[in-house]
Amino acid sequence: MMVLMDVAVILLLALAGLSMGSFAGATVWRLRARQLIEDKKEGEEIDKEEYKALLPLSKAPFTARDRSRCLHCHQTLAWYDLLPLVSWLSTGGTCRYCRKRIGTFEPLMELGTAGFFVGSYLLWPEIITALDLAQFILWLLGGVLLAILFAYDMKWFLLPNRVVFPLIGVGVIVAGLRIFTSADSVMALIDVAAAASVLSGLYLILWYVSKGKWVGFGDVKLGLGLALLLGNWQLAFLALFLANLIGCLVVIPGLVSGKMKRGSHVPFGPLLIIGFVISVLIGQPILQWYFTAFL
Ligand SMILES: [Zn+2]
């Protein structure tokens, strides 16, 4: 009986993840369209092709009436074009109307978010009380925002405030719940503050010293959101360490093979997000292993 329950929950989470991933993917394009309009207003140089392709997406952003459109032919998409994964697979990754390739971005967002939802459930501590459930749902919500930030920063080296601020908002709620329900609220508060110093404070210093060259201010704000969600300074250190480790694993082969040049731009947001997710889901076992192995 228990197993059947678990399977049902996992299926439900996979479906929810696919839908939320689809939403996250569409949001990435809409945010980009808005960004281009704002850049144009401010007289910045923008890619005219990209602007023309994305402009129709910005007409009615974030409303229920706003249907997604094909980026190539601007055809408004019907409900059966918007089924996560199924629509993409049914047309072999092309637009039903103009037959141009859609690319793998949408299905990757959908699969990634579904994987995140299911993986989180499998690795999450047992959910017993309503508070546990609330914390888990907040975590999934934070994950959707992180999926948007991850993709946006990979594509355009920017972490838009329209997503970072809601993430910080979710972080404040999560940290608040943790502090008020903790047996030792003062310690919990200190832990949150320490995590914020590690993840956000360090970037703030780097940003200040380098005048924004080494890290962007977006990383400082992202670090704050992640620290609030973590609420634990040891896990914050681990997240930072993993981000740098993964960064090295990506950059060094790139430098050696000559695909990357010194001074090539590596977006730090996605690395930090990966390090953070690993820390939350399996950080405690990693720390335990580290302490027994080396201390
Ligand atoms: Zn099309």
Instruction: Give ion ligand 1 contacts, CB < 5 A.
Output: 70, 72-73, 95, 97-98
pLDDT value of residue 63: 45
Tell me, in angstroms, the distance from the centre of ligand 1 to residue 102's CA: 8
Tell me, in angstroms, the distance from the centre of ligand 1 to residue 77's CA: 9
Tell me, in angstroms, the distance from the centre of ligand 1 to residue 251's CA: 36
Tell me, in angstroms, the distance from the centre of ligand 1 to residue 270's CA: 29
Query: Is residue 186 predicted with pLDDT exceeding 80?
Result: yes
Cβ proximity of 235 and 280 under 8 Å: yes
pLDDT range class, residue 65, cuts 50, 70, 90: very low
Tell me, in angstroms, the distance from the centre of ligand 1 to residue 82's CA: 13
Residue 119 CB-half CA count within 13 A? 12
User: How many angstroms separate the CA atoms of 64 and 190, rounded?
Assistant: 42
Name, in order, each residue with C-beta under 8 angstroms of 270's C-beta and a sequence gap of 6 or more. Answer: 150, 153, 154
Query: Hey, what are 13's tokens?
Result: 């989470």
Q: Which pLDDT tens digit goes with each residue over 214-248? A: 788 999 999 999 999 999 999 999 999 999 999 98
End-to-end, the C-alpha distance of the chain in Å comes to 43
What pTM did the predictor assign? 0.90
Tell me, in angstroms, the distance from the centre of ligand 1 to residue 155's CA: 21
Tell me, in angstroms, the distance from the centre of ligand 1 to residue 98's CA: 4
More confident residue, 44 or 8: 8
Q: Which pLDDT tens digit goes with each residue over 105-161? A: 989 999 999 999 999 999 999 889 999 999 999 999 999 999 999 999 999 999 999
Tell me, in angstroms, the distance from the centre of ligand 1 to residue 144's CA: 26
pLDDT value of residue 33: 87
Tell me, in angstroms, the distance from the centre of ligand 1 to residue 43's CA: 30
Tell me, in angstroms, the distance from the centre of ligand 1 to residue 99's CA: 6
Tell me, in angstroms, the distance from the centre of ligand 1 to residue 106's CA: 14
The DSSP letter of residue 93 is: S
Tell me, in angstroms, the distance from the centre of ligand 1 to residue 113's CA: 25
Tell me, in angstroms, the distance from the centre of ligand 1 to residue 147's CA: 25
Q: Which pLDDT tens digit goes with each residue over 74-92? A: 888 888 888 888 989 999 8
Query: Is residue 51 predicted with pLDDT exceeding 50?
Result: yes
Mean residue pLDDT of the chain comes to 89
